[in-house]
Structure 1
Amino acid sequence: MAESSEPPSPENARPHRLETWTELAGAVILSIAALLTSWASFQAELWDGDQAAAYSQAESVRTEASRLATRAGQIQGGDMLMFTNWLSAFAAEDEALQDFYEQNFRAGFRTTHAEWLALQPMKNPSAPRTPFSMPSYQITHEEQARVLEERANAFFLEGQEANRNSDGFVRVTVILAGALFFGGIGQVFRIPRVRVALVVVAAISCVWGVVQLLGLPVN
C-alpha cells in the first residue's frame, strides 16, 4: 500500500517561502547593481576624458597667453626706452632729436604721446606724469593675453568640474560594489536571519547608490 504524502505544515512552509523571496530579492539586487556599476564606470571614463581634454586646452591656451604677455612686456619696454631717450632730448632742448624719437615711436604710442603733450604735462599738475598713465595707452598683445588667460581659467574650471563628476561616479561604483558583495555572499548562507540581513544591507547599498547617481550629471 502506497504511503500518503502529507502537505507541508505552515511552520515548514514559512522558511521555504522566506528562502525563495530572499533568493529572488538577491538576484534582482545583484542584477540592478551590476548594471548600474557598468553604467557608472562608463560615465566615470567619459568624464575623465573631458577632464583631460579641458586641462589640455587650458595648458595650450595659457601657453599662448604667456607668449602674448611676454611680447606685450617687450613692446612696453621698447616704448619706455624710447620715451626715456625722448626725455633726455627734451631736457637738452634738442628739438631735432626729439622729433627723431617721436617719428620712431611705435604707432600706438606716438598717438598717446601726442595726446599727453597736448595736456601740457610740464605745466599742468593734473595731467598724467607719463604717457603710460594715459587711458589711450594700450598694447593689443596685453589685452589678447588677458582674454586668453580668462579662457584658460574657464577650461581649467571645466576640467575641475569634470574631475568632480568622475569622482562622484567612481564613488557610486564603490557603493554598488558593496551591494554586489553583500547580495552575493547572502546567497551562500543558509541561516535565514543572516541571509535576510545581508540581502537587506545589499538593498540599502543599492538604493544609496541609485540616490547618488540621481545627483550626478550624465555625460
Structure 2
Amino acid sequence: MTADDNAPVPKRRRVLEVMTVVTLSITAVLTAWCGFEASKWGGEMSIAFSQASSARVQAASAEATAQAARQYDLTIYAEWIIAERNGDLDLMSFIEERFTEEFAIAFTAWQDGGRTERGPLAMAEYVPPGTAEAQELSERADSKFEEALINNQRGDNYSLLTVLFALVLFFAALSQAQHLAWRRHTFLGLSVALGVVGIVILATFPVKI
C-alpha cells in the first residue's frame, strides 16, 4: 500500500468526526427542546384538569340551586292541586301569585295546552334557575377534561421523542469508539437516520411557548 493510498484516510476520519460532533450538538439541543415542551404540556395538562375540576364544582352548585327551585315549585304546586280539588278559588289565586317566574311560565303553557302533560313541571317551558348554568358548566368540565387528556398525550409524545434522540446520541457516541471504518460509518449512519426520523416527527408536534 502506497502513501497516496493512506493519505485520504485521516481526511475521511476528520469528516466523520465533524459529522459526529454536529450530530451530537444538534441532537443535544433537540433533546433539551423536547424536555422543555414535555414540561410545558404537562403544565397545560395540570391547568386543564384544575379548570375541569372547578367547573364540576360550579356545575354541582348550579344543579343544587335548580333542585332547590324544583322542590319549592313542586311543593307550592301540590298546595295548588289541593286547593283546586277543594274548589277554593281564593286559595288558588293566592298560591298562583306566589309561583316563581319560571314555574308561572310553564304553568300558563300547561293551562293553554289543555293540561295534556302530567303537570307544569313536565313542560319544556319549565327551566328552573341554575339548570342552564349547570348544563353549560358540565359541558365546560367535559371539554377541559378532554383537553387535559390531549395535553397529557402531547407531553408523553415529547417524552418518547426524547428517548429517540437519546438513541441518536448513543449511536453517535458509539461510532467514535469504533476502530474499523465500516463500524464507524454504520453507527454514525444509524444515528443520523434516527435523527432525521426524530426531526420529521418533531415537526408534526404542536409547540407551546
Tell me if 1:174 matches 2:168.
no
- Number of the residue aligned with 1:163: 152
What letter matches 1:202 in structure 2? S
Question: Using the alignment, how far apart are the partners of 1:151 and 1:129 within structure 2?
Answer: 33
Q: 2:84 aligns with which of 86, 90, 93?
A: 90
Q: Is the 8 A contact 2:69 2:129 kept in 1?
A: no
TM, length-normalised to structure 1: 0.86
Q: CA deviation at 1:117?
A: 2.4
Q: Distance in 1 between matches of 2:46 and 2:78?
A: 48
Q: AA paired with 1:29?
A: T
Paired position in structure 1 for 2:176: 187
Does the CA contact (< 8 Å) of 1:18 and 1:192 recur in 2?
no
> Residue 140 of structure 1 aligns to a residue in which SS?
coil
Is the Cα–Cα contact under 8 Å of residues 52 and 140 in structure 2 kept in the other structure?
Answer: yes
C-alpha distance in 1 between matches for 2:178 and 2:123: 83
Q: Which portions of structure 1, spanning 4 or more consecutive aligned residues, are displaced by more than 3 angstroms?
A: none
Of structures 1 and 2, the larger Rg is shown by 1
Q: How do 1:130-169 residues align onto structure 2 when only pairs under 5 Å count?
A: 130-169=119-158
Determine helix, strand or coil for the equivalent of 1:129: coil
Inter-partner Cα distance in structure 2 for 1:115 and 1:190: 91
Map Cα deviations across residues 104-126 of structure 1 (whole Å, 9 max, x no partner).
Answer: 322321232234224442xxxxx
The more displaced of 67-76 and 130-139 is 130-139
Aligned-CA RMSD value = 1.9
Give the counterpart of 1:104 among 98, 104, 122.
98
Residue 211 of structure 1 pairs with residue 200 of structure 2: yes
- Check conservation: 2:168, 2:194, Cα contact below 8 A: yes
State the percentage of identical aligned residues: 29
What's the offset of the Cα at 1:144? 0.9
Please give the alpha-carbon distance, in whole angstroms, between the structure 1 residues aligned to 2:4 and 2:140: 73
Using the TM superposition, give the Cα deviation of residue 14 of structure 1 relative to its aligned residue in structure 2, in angstroms.
Answer: 4.2
In 1, distance between residues paired with 2:36 and 2:89?
74
- Is the Cα contact below 8 Å between 1:15 and 1:192 reproduced in 2? no
The one of 118, 134, 139 aligned to 1:129: 118
Aligned length, in residue pairs = 208
Bigger CA drift: 161-170 or 55-64? 161-170
> Unaligned 5+ residue runs, structure 1?
1-7, 122-126
Rounded to whole Å, the distance in 2 between the matches of 1:33 and 1:115 is: 70
| AA at the equivalent of 1:180 | L
